[in-house]
Amino acid sequence: MAWLGVPPVFKRNEESFGGYARRLEQFFVVNDLLIPDDKKAAVSVDAKRRAVLLTALEPDTFSLLEDLLAPAGVAEVTCARIIEVLTSHFEPDESVILSRHRFHTCSREDTETVSAFLSRLRHLARPCQFTCCAGILEEMLRDRFVSGIRNERLQSRLLSEKNLTLQSATAIATAHEAAARQAGEIAQSQTGPSGESAVHHVSAASASGSVSAAVEEEELYSLFRCSGDRRAPIKLNVMLDDRPVSMELDTGAALSVCGRFPDRTD
């Protein structure tokens, strides 16, 4: 029998076994290897499914399977049993509380795109069992998405929206991300001479307000004056030529220098 396509190979370091089992099931579908209702025919089909699965395992995984099934042989159990054993080994049941803790503490990384952050949230939400009522998963994703955005300007924009949905929050965040990237490209194209430092350029541009969207994490402020009560200078009495002299201590230097000896006569 000729196969349509090639049976997928399970690589334990590249994917979960659950994901692999779902891909393998699609291979069975396209090659008419679904278990029929007739028991006799089902045995024959299952033997083919088992053979496909066993030949798609890497040597170390096949050896592991033999150990897990012992004393039974790999040809003595059903394909469903093999999938059950390997799934239990590679993906043991995890605490729902721990899964939800990971979800509720997830925040967007500095270099992570909006779409990548949302994808990571969806992945973390899968074992959380947010199924108590219809739409609860979308609400949980929306709330964590907004809370995990580590950008005050964007977060304020999202919080100001009435009837915010996950879809609208994603659209706003994606547009904000694109605008910041485009503004950055414009600012970069308007740089001064090649010898001018990037710090000076951003300082000048920020003063005029031209790159406020590009520099979204931090704003540059100019400090003109520090106001407040000034402390009285520290005075010291020292002896110069056996005469007491009052001088001010220079707190910002290693040494305090007396520039002129008062009333000195040569």
Alpha-carbon gap, residue 208 to 224, rounded angstroms: 16
210 CB neighbour count, 10 Å cutoff: 14
pLDDT, position 204: 46
pLDDT, position 66: 94
Beta bridge partners of residue 92, listed in sequence order: none
Scanning the structure block, which residue is given the tokens 């949302």? Answer: 118
pLDDT, position 214: 45
Q: Are 51 and 33 in contact (CB under 8 A)?
A: no
How far is the CA of 203 from the CAs of 55, 107, 188, in angstroms? Answer: 63, 30, 13
pLDDT, position 108: 94
Report DSSP state, residue 240.
Answer: E
pLDDT, position 138: 93
pLDDT, position 240: 78
pLDDT of 136-154, one tens digit each? 999 999 999 999 999 999 9
Q: Angle at the Cα of 255 (from 253 to 233), degrees rounded to 5? A: 65
For the chain, the domains span 17-90, 96-187
pLDDT, position 89: 92
Scanning the structure block, which residue is given the tokens 């994606």? Answer: 174
Q: In the chain, helix, strand, coil percent, each to 5?
A: 50, 5, 45
Intervals of the chain under pLDDT 50 = 195, 197, 202-216, 266
pLDDT, position 34: 79
